[in-house]
Structure 1
């Protein structure tokens, strides 16, 4: 009996009228840069032939639509999560009669909401399609963000953050999965890095928004922190409406705006859409997977959760994020404690994240070119750990704070924040080491469910000695973990190569083939 699917996502939901024909021949000859692939379109099998230069042009067109809108959505999601940093420099705690620890609890509850519905949200996405589900999510959490401006006590804060997390759950894996259906594996790392520009620049733009909103304190009878939530929420809603208007159902629906309510000439021609479908079919057949049909079963979920190779990524994710997440939440407050005003502290919190995003794109380009994921993350982890140690030593040496020591500490803070963004590298690494699109979709969802931050406690103020020691310890575990993970994957590849030489059936487990024709079980 066939296994019952959790999700039965047919090809015509993503590429209406088009399927990959059974037993279609894979043409591996690329004479003079020409590629060809059979696809079945509207019940008829056709051969699509194209040149590599033409494909590059089409991918650039896809970049111009998908990367800006998905990055913009991710940016507002990240701002809506981290604008607490600006809120905490205002009168928020006194107005709501809350403590710092209660504020931290609300931050953690947001992550709980995300974890609760991460996989279910991803399943719904496959049921109704990302072109509907993702914009609906953005609009929903934008409304919740606005409603946070009405919080009056700790209970309301807890509920608001939990519901905000529920509204955001599934967005990151859903966006990653959608990109993976339009791009080939060797195109994903740098595109994922651009998608992840949102978290990288959110602290910067969130700080600028907070600085401006705090200038509106008592305007219209609202406090500065209320303006932060309202401005961010309304902007998020507008972005969701924009996404609904332009994200297409498939390459053949690029002229269908607002879900098809308005029809215009598509930004992809019929031939360009055929080529996008053909190249996805081609890579699917090459990897011997069902390229355009997605059926997520319980076995796919358990295979990902029980695979030994999944957990190193989660350890790296959790330790790496938590080593710096305290700076995301309390960075502006820490800068303010050095003697700067609330507005100036928020402005000074912006540059480091922008530099980190810039360096992250450069590092992702290196990874895309050489497929050395572990080395890229090791570099970022070493940079961050060095910065955390410098911050801890500098804070202890430069107190009591003077004008000179304030700027010295701030310089170390910017250098730490400027560490290259590594999250897109890690999440792409995880997904590519699972062969089928079903398991990749599950892996995206599992990876994106992480927890909040409880490191910077009120009892530890003003030096936060324990917090800095915890951050440094987490950074050390992060660095050691990714080094060990890289070594283990290399070791597993050597064992796999020996088995592959004696058993040709293992060819189906190959996920990466280098220029010499050597097959590997894991990217490393």
Structure 2
């Protein structure tokens, strides 16, 4: 519990903490081109904060280097804990546990079911106790479950382990996204979200390297190689969760409160810098809003068009005649390059605010790669297949942070954003229950049916995002006409471009 002298500013709760007063009460002025002022609610009173733009830039850089990395690190281990099964399946895991390949696949799908079951309840808990407690607790919990997977001996144990791993991870992604949205402005958020999403982008690469190293420990200390994979990843995850509990602050005014305030040190933000950040971060029902559904359709098709490759990519490469270790090493570069691809693409979005165009580009790229895999995935063309797999994965993850940021910015209040995040990520995880099922044992090693399904999903994805972009452009034109007749609609404006044109939706 915070002491009585603690600053009463709660990020993310507009009604009871950090907020700006109504337009009639606001006194936000720009003194000159480099000085800004804005009221914030602090200790129950309206306080006027004045700062210069170079101070604001310095505060944002501090957040970038001291706050954002821990979220990206947690996401990285979560993604590795989900996808390290790719390396596990190239080992003796299936024979050691007396499972069939399809039983192993069922366990993979149960993880996504577990995530979906607690996605929204997890976010309700996050809002009640705060992300500074809830998110690290989740990380430690699923890290422990990850370690316990090393003790699986049969299909039943595998099913339970994967289901509980999903329950432990549920709510982490939308919770992290919501937290970041309270520390950054909309025009800063896309690239920071892309950095947050470096986790899944690089997880296949680093996960494959970890798997390759762990498999070399086969029979060390009496443990199989796949057991070492789970133990190494789980212990690393637990350590990351403890670190997060130590350093994630309750608010910008509590950056010196380590381990929930048990240890007090000088904060990495001064009181004035915290005030600046609070002022800087000022910013229908989600499920019933027509604007939500295009994102969900795009999510269910775009992500799942290549989701199976996260699990079976190394196995596909192994089927071309490579050893387990070699297959995991060859599976690494595509996702690693994809991380840099996503940063570049998100930089374009932050500069031009054209979300739809960036995702269309990623969809075309991915669809072309899937078609090439359908044509060329044969043992006699192993080199071409490796390259096409890498190129397909290059755009695999890069568009996801763009899409989820696009969704959040088209909702104005933090409460709606939080629900939108939970709905979207829940939808994404629901797709995982079928995305991994397309690569069936009966279809190996060429996977002709699997590639056809992936191509079909990719085509729907491309058509959906084109229709979504055109739909938002049309809605903006209608909104512009209504705005002339009804100036009160100004409160619905989410974006004003350099020419002063006001939009209801980013597109």
TM-score under structure 2 length normalisation: 0.94
Contact 1:12 1:19 in 2 (8 A): no
CA distance in 2, matches of 1:75, 1:521: 34
Match of 1:322 in 2: 304
**Cα distance, 1:117 vs structure 2:** 0.8
CA distance in 1, matches of 2:373, 2:33: 55
**Cα distance, 1:13 vs structure 2:** 4.1
1:399-437 CA-to-partner distances (Å, cap 9, x unmatched) read 4x24xx222211111111112611000000001111111
Contact 2:320 2:382 in 1 (8 A): yes
Match of 2:501 in 1: 518
Contact 2:443 2:450 in 1 (8 A): yes
Match of 1:408 in 2: 384
Point out where structure 2 has 5 or more consecutive residues left out of the alignment.
Answer: 1-6
Aligned to 1:29, the other structure's residue is in SS state strand
Contact 1:11 1:19 in 2 (8 A): no
1:472 to 430, 455, 474: 455
RMSD: 1.6
**Cα distance, 1:495 vs structure 2:** 1.0
Aligned to 2:47, the other structure's residue is in SS state strand
Aligned to 1:139, the other structure's residue is in SS state helix
CA distance in 1, matches of 2:502, 2:314: 48
1:92-121 CA-to-partner distances (Å, cap 9, x unmatched) read 111111122111211111111111111110
CA distance in 1, matches of 2:489, 2:44: 34
**Cα distance, 1:512 vs structure 2:** 1.3
Structure 1 runs, 4 residues or longer, greater than 2 Å off: 10-30, 39-46
* CA separation of 1:488 and 1:231: change in aligned 2, threshold 3 A: same
**Cα distance, 1:30 vs structure 2:** 5.0
1:387 to 343, 353, 369: 369
**Cα distance, 1:39 vs structure 2:** 2.3
CA distance in 1, matches of 2:480, 2:57: 33
Match of 1:39 in 2: 40
Contact 1:24 1:38 in 2 (8 A): no
Match of 1:439 in 2: 416
* CA separation of 1:141 and 1:357: change in aligned 2, threshold 3 A: same
CA distance in 2, matches of 1:465, 1:361: 33
Contact 2:34 2:53 in 1 (8 A): yes
CA distance in 2, matches of 1:68, 1:165: 23
**Cα distance, 1:29 vs structure 2:** 2.9
Match of 1:336 in 2: 318
**Cα distance, 1:508 vs structure 2:** 1.8
Match of 1:127 in 2: 128
1:233-287 CA-to-partner distances (Å, cap 9, x unmatched) read 000000000000001111111111111111111111111011111223xx34xxx
Contact 2:197 2:401 in 1 (8 A): yes
* CA separation of 1:499 and 1:70: change in aligned 2, threshold 3 A: same
Contact 2:27 2:38 in 1 (8 A): yes
**Cα distance, 1:42 vs structure 2:** 2.4
Match of 1:114 in 2: 115
Contact 1:18 1:43 in 2 (8 A): no
Q: How does 1:276-315 map to 2 (within 5 A)?
A: 276-280=277-281, 283-284=282-283, 303-315=285-297
**Count of residues in correspondence between the two structures:** 490
Q: Do residues 25 (structure 1) and 1 (structure 2) align?
A: no
TM-score under structure 1 length normalisation: 0.91
Contact 1:110 1:164 in 2 (8 A): yes
Match of 2:407 in 1: 430
1:307-356 CA-to-partner distances (Å, cap 9, x unmatched) read 11111101111111111111100000000111111001001110000111
CA distance in 1, matches of 2:304, 2:192: 24
Contact 1:13 1:129 in 2 (8 A): no
Contact 1:320 1:478 in 2 (8 A): yes
CA distance in 2, matches of 1:494, 1:30: 34
* CA separation of 1:45 and 1:312: change in aligned 2, threshold 3 A: closer
**Cα distance, 1:460 vs structure 2:** 1.1
CA distance in 2, matches of 1:222, 1:461: 30
* CA separation of 1:361 and 1:18: change in aligned 2, threshold 3 A: closer
Aligned to 1:304, the other structure's residue is in SS state coil
Match of 1:56 in 2: 57
CA distance in 1, matches of 2:299, 2:370: 17
CA distance in 2, matches of 1:18, 1:467: 50
Q: How does 1:218-367 map to 2 (within 5 A)?
A: 218-280=219-281, 283-284=282-283, 303-367=285-349
CA distance in 1, matches of 2:244, 2:342: 25
